[in-house]
Chain A
Amino acid sequence: MTPAVSGQLINLFAAIMLLLGFAMLSQRRIITLINLFMLQGIVLSLSTLVVAQSTGQTHLLWSAALTFVLKVIVLPYILHRLIRKLSIKWDVETLINIPTTMLAGIALVVIAFNVAQPISQLSGTITRATIGIALACVLLAFLMMITRSKAVPQVIAFLAMENGLFFAATSATYGMPMVVELGIALDVLVGMVILGVFFFQIREQFDSLDIRQMEKVHEE
């Protein structure tokens, strides 16, 4: 693959990442949300693979494999199991209606590109434009987290934010050192397991996974 082709490919993947970010923001059904998250994982590992191939960084191959196993297989599996066991309803409630959220999302993308511009200019890597997109993905996930009222979509948003960060790491810097990536992956996995346990307890105590109900508890 010539550098030009791989550069184009990565830019394509970056665009898909951003699209998926918007798709998640507008999605109402929780199963589709998990599938979108899985797609994001696939795109992430593919783009890591392309960067690895074009730069000859072998540790990125491991990183791509790790991303694939964790984000395309393990985490979606855990999430699917969780919602089956908790028999969560299909619809996701949002606190702000979806068109407004999308407009806010567009504003965030503009901000992200502005913030990232000085950095993109410095980047010597083949993928200089992608850091803005990665930041935009992080901010979109953040917005999703704020606007969702149920616990499971909030967690998916949290994981999507992590995807954006990984994308920033691979596209701007050719990946972090392996020990760090392993550590981050481990943290994410442990966090997911803990949250799984947590969901059941929240459900036991509140009869629902609606975060708004929890907040009533503490008002004095």
Chain B
Amino acid sequence: MIELAFVLATPFASGLILALIGHWRGAAEINSAGSLITLLAACVLTARVVSEGPMTLFDEQFFVDPLNVFLITLTALVGFTTSLFSRPYMRVEHEHGRLTIGRLRLYHSMFQMFMGTMLIALSTNNLGVLWVAMEAATLTTVLLVALYRTPASLEAAWKYFILCGVGIAQALFGTILLYFAAERVLGHEGGALLWTHLDAVKTQLEPTVLSLAFVFLLVGYGTKTGLVPLHNWLPDAHAEGPTPVSAVLSGLLLNVALYAIIRCKVLVDGALPTHFAGNLMMGFGLLSVVVAAFYLARQKDVKRLFGYSSIEHMGLITFAFGMGGPVANFAGLLHMTVHSLTKSAIFFAVGHAAQKAGTQVIDDIRGLLKHSPTIGWGMMLGSLAILGMPPFGVFTSEFLILTTAIKHYPWATPFLLVALGVAFAAIFGKVQGMVFGEPNVADLPHRPALIPVFVHLGLVLMLGLWIPPYLADWYRQAARLIG
């Protein structure tokens, strides 16, 4: 109980402290310290769930099981490494004159608040609160995307706000319909929005209402996950915000939105005899993979490039969960983990590379390997990992997803293979140009923080070669929960 309180309270407390102290030099350190405390509390919480099993806390308002506890730990971990990366990154931005002290204060405070809203979304048992937390996560990041106050960043933030606002309004309608169905079984006093209660009675829920609710929920949270055709905000928001924000948007927020869809899918699957929810998810997922892969080749901005790559991977994960079954779910969960680690590592490397080159345009970044081998290698290895090269973990999960697709849905395999091939050609070609060749990049006033990049890539490598037994066990339990 105390662990969860720490996990949830630390980000908000640090956010408040950072908002109050403002100009003080140690803001970045407080940011990292807050994230570290959150991470430690999340680890203790995980250990408890592993030994004691799922539990509901605080008058059943919060609920922790193998599915969300692994996402909580992942979120806390990436939050911590991002805060380490952002320390030198934001100092450089400040010295380049792109950010004032006041903006830095806003950034640090909102970063923590954003982490807090995501952790609430992951741990809450109440589907209504889940919606509220997702909307709050949008609101905190709107300000972060517009941090530079350039015309392009304001446009990106506006698009983000309006599209996600409209999308998430659909999700609210879905939640209302779900409550409407649940209330008939549970009554209005009995906590008809609590997931654990809904899960217990899911076979009695009205199928027509639930299928309609799922359509709205999938469209709503799908907007936030960046599924095609609702993905328009994602590349802009990734490209125009500061890089640490791109890293957490891509690595964490998309996962949280997908988590919301999965939770709802479990209920709908229980109520419907058909594979309706799964089919919808497979359709959206496949469309996202294919469309994003072909958009990749046209990108000129390096952060937009990796933004589209996130859409592709989210599509792949949605497709995996849509197929369902123990293997595909296992692969989906593994892919969520490795994508989030790899993508944030890539954004860390890209962020410093863009600072060195003074631009995000791919053609103007050259010769990273010669000038700063660590950034160059980080970017090269990260890209190879995200493209699914063995022995990285992404290969394992993509291999599992592909083989399951071949077995159960053979018609989908050619689409997936073509999309993966196109994505490989597009990203590898562009990254090669940036990494090799004669350097045109300059030194930075602060030493870049590259340890997070290699920690993440190391973890991804480990997951590709050997998944620790307790972790594998945990994935299996979570995969069983999803069904």
Residue ranges of A at the interface with B (Cβ–Cβ < 8 Å):
57, 115, 118-119, 122-124, 131, 135, 138, 142, 145, 151, 154, 158, 161-162, 165, 168-169, 172-174, 176-177, 179-180, 183-184, 186-187, 190-191, 194-195, 198, 201-202, 205-206, 211, 214-215, 217-218, 220
Contacts and interface: CB of A to CB of B under 8 A. Distances in A.
- Grouping DSSP codes into helix (H, G, I), strand (E, B) and loop, the B interface class, with mixed when no group exceeds half, is helix
Interface string B260-289: 000000000000000000000000000000
Given A214-B154, A217-B151, A165 B208 contact: no
A209 B19 CA distance: 29
Nearest to B184: A124
B193 A180 contact: yes
Given A176-B179, A215-B155, 13 more contacts: A122-B206, A124-B184, A154-B162, A158-B165, A165-B176, A168-B173, A176-B176, A186-B132, A198-B146, A201-B146, A205-B151, A217-B151, A218-B152
Interface string B195-215: 000000000001011001000
A81 to B, nearest CB: 20
A153 B165 CA distance: 15
A195 B151 CA distance: 16
B158 interface: yes
A190 B151 contact: no
Taking residues whose C-beta sits less than 8 angstroms from the other chain, chain B's interface range is 35 or more
- Grouping DSSP codes into helix (H, G, I), strand (E, B) and loop, the A interface class, with mixed when no group exceeds half, is helix
A191 B165 contact: yes
B161 A57 contact: no
B135 A187 contact: yes
Contacts of A154: 162
A183 B172 contact: no
Interface stretch (B32-40, B65-73, B136-144, B307-315): B136-144
Interface string B168-195: 0100110111011001100010011100
Contact of B169 (A165, A169, A201): A165
Q: Which of B162, B175, B192 has the most CB of A within 10 A?
A: B162
21 contacts: A118-B208, A119-B177, A158-B166, A161-B166, A165-B172, A165-B173, A168-B173, A168-B176, A169-B179, A173-B180, A177-B192, A179-B128, A180-B128, A183-B133, A184-B128, A184-B132, A190-B136, A195-B161, A198-B146, A198-B158, A198-B161
Contacts of B192: 177
Given A179-B128, A205-B154, A214-B158, A172 B139 contact: no
A187 B139 contact: yes
Q: Which of B143, B149, B150, B173 has the most CB of A within 10 A?
A: B173
Nearest to B178: A173
B303 to A, nearest CB: 14
B158 A202 contact: yes
A40 B418 CA distance: 51
B158 A122 contact: no
A123 B181 CA distance: 9
Nearest to A138: B173
B236 interface: yes
Interface in B419-433: none
A217 B135 CA distance: 27
A201 B149 contact: yes
A206 to B, nearest CB: 7
A124 to B, nearest CB: 7
